[in-house]
Every structure is written in structure tokens, then in C-alpha cells.
Amino acid sequence: MHISNGIIDGPVAAIFAAFALAALAFCVLRGRADLDDRLAPMAGLVAAFIFAVQMLNFPIFTAGVSGHLLGGALAALLVGPWVGALCVAVVLVVQALVFGDGGVAMLGLNITNMAILGTAAAYLLIALLLRVLPRTPAGLAVTAFVSALVSVVVASQGFVLQYWLGGTTDLGGNLGGLAGTMAVAHLLIGIGEGLITATTVVTVAKVRPDLVYALRALKPAVPAPAVPVAGGVR
């Protein structure tokens, strides 16, 4: 979902670059509380993993349309919302500066959609769902799937907002058409995102539940019967 150069005009791209920079600075400030000697290399791994999975475009519809993981929900679940947003931003910066993927001038727009909006939407849902759903692998899987799916659709609508502000083609008042096309395509991509996110997080939770930030940080709304469980899972 990387915006290429020329799609959004320069002034709007610059405004979003400033916004993205401010938001990332805020993430660094808040994220430092989470970021200790243990989380720093883990966060590097999460960024590397997201880079890898973003290369794996999967087909949607039957026609010639594909989609790939954005990673905001996955990162938020594994390393928390602040560091998670930074992980996705790191991936986007490497892609723009080294792989020619997503215009350098469009970086602020892309970071806003995928790193900031996507991760924020995901974590709001994660925080809600993990508190109300049972602390089981199924509960974690549903949380991951739903938050990932919604985060992709929210990110896609971030682009629609940007296109409304600074799109380089006059859609003749048909912004709703673009919004609808984007929403449907990203609903389908979101299903893929949800499956990948749920599979990955449930696997990590099985191997190393202590490495899943969301399980450490978010306590159930109703305290479970007082049986202390090592690692904090379920």
C-alpha cells in the first residue's frame, strides 16, 4: 500500500511528512518506557520480519490484484503500540531509501497510513478485545485477526483522506468511489493480514508468551480466578 511519487501533491505530502515526524518523535518518547535491553533486539526482529512478509504479495479477488501485510497490528501485539509504530516506520524508510518502494517524497504519507494510523487503530482494538475475550489461544487469535483486519481498512481510508486533500487527478467529485474501491480491496487484504497476524502471534505466544507485549501489558477486565500462571498467558 505504498504511495508512489506524483500521486499526492507536494504541499500535502510535506504537511504529512511534518505530521509523521512529530508522531514518530512522540512514539520514541513514549516507547522508551517499554524499550529496554530485552525489547530493543526484539523490536529489530519484528521490523525485519515485517519487511520479509511485506515482500509476500498474495492475490485477492481472482483478478490481477494483490495485497501484502502492513504489520501494524502484528507489531503492536508483539512490542506495543509506540515501539510497534516505529518498527513499521523503519521498514517503510528502508523500502523507500533502498528498494525504491514508495516515493521518498511520499514517505510522510505512507508512514502516517501504515505506521501510525494502522498501528493506532490496531492497538485500540487489541486493548479492548484482550480485556473482554477469554485468555486462551483462541481469544488471542480473534484479537489479532480482528485488529489486523480493521487496521488495514483504516490505513486505506487514510490514503483516501490524503487523496481528497492533495490527489493529483480530479476525480470529478467521485471520492466516494475511490473510498469504496479502497475499502473493499483492503477488507480482502485485511483478511490475509488477519490470518498472518493471528498465526504469527499465536505461534510466538506458544513458544515465548513472555515476548508478547500485549499479553504482558493488558490485564483482563475481570481478574481470572487467582491462579498464578507463570508467563502470564491465559
Given the complex with another protein, which of 139 and 232 has the nearer CB atom?
Answer: 232
Stretch that binds another protein, among 5-13, 115-123, 126-134, 137-145 (CB under 8 A): 5-13
Given the complex with another protein, which of 103 and 108 has the nearer CB atom?
Answer: 103
d(CA 102, CA 4): 5
Q: Smallest distance, Å, CB 52 to another protein? A: 4
Q: Under 8 Å CB-to-CB from 82, ≥6 apart: which residues?
A: 27, 28, 30, 31, 34
Given the complex with another protein, which of 101 and 127 has the nearer CB atom?
Answer: 101
Least Cα distance to 7 among 173, 51, 16 occurs for 16
Write the DSSP string, 35-74.
Answer: --TTHHHHHHHHHHHHHHHHT--EEETTTTEEE----HHH
Q: Smallest distance, Å, CB 33 to another protein? A: 7
d(CA 49, CA 57): 14
Q: Under 8 Å CB-to-CB from 144, ≥6 apart: which residues?
A: 73, 74, 77, 126, 194, 197, 198, 200, 201, 202
227 binds another protein (CB under 8 A): no
Q: Smallest distance, Å, CB 58 to another protein? A: 6
Query: Which residues, 167 to 206, sit near another protein by CB under 8 A?
Result: 167-169, 171, 177-178, 181-182, 185-186, 188-189
x/- track of binding to another protein for residues 112-151 (CB under 8 A):
----------------------------------------
Query: Which residues, 85 to 114, sit near another protein by CB under 8 A?
Result: 86-87, 90-91, 93-94, 96-101, 103-105
The one-letter code for the residue type at 33 is A
Given the complex with another protein, which of 4 and 136 has the nearer CB atom?
Answer: 4
x/- track of binding to another protein for residues 31-60 (CB under 8 A):
xxx-xxxxxxxxxxxxxxxxxxx-xxxxxx
Mutual orientation of helices 118-132 and 72-79 as an angle, nearest 10°?
Answer: 50
2 binds another protein (CB under 8 A): yes
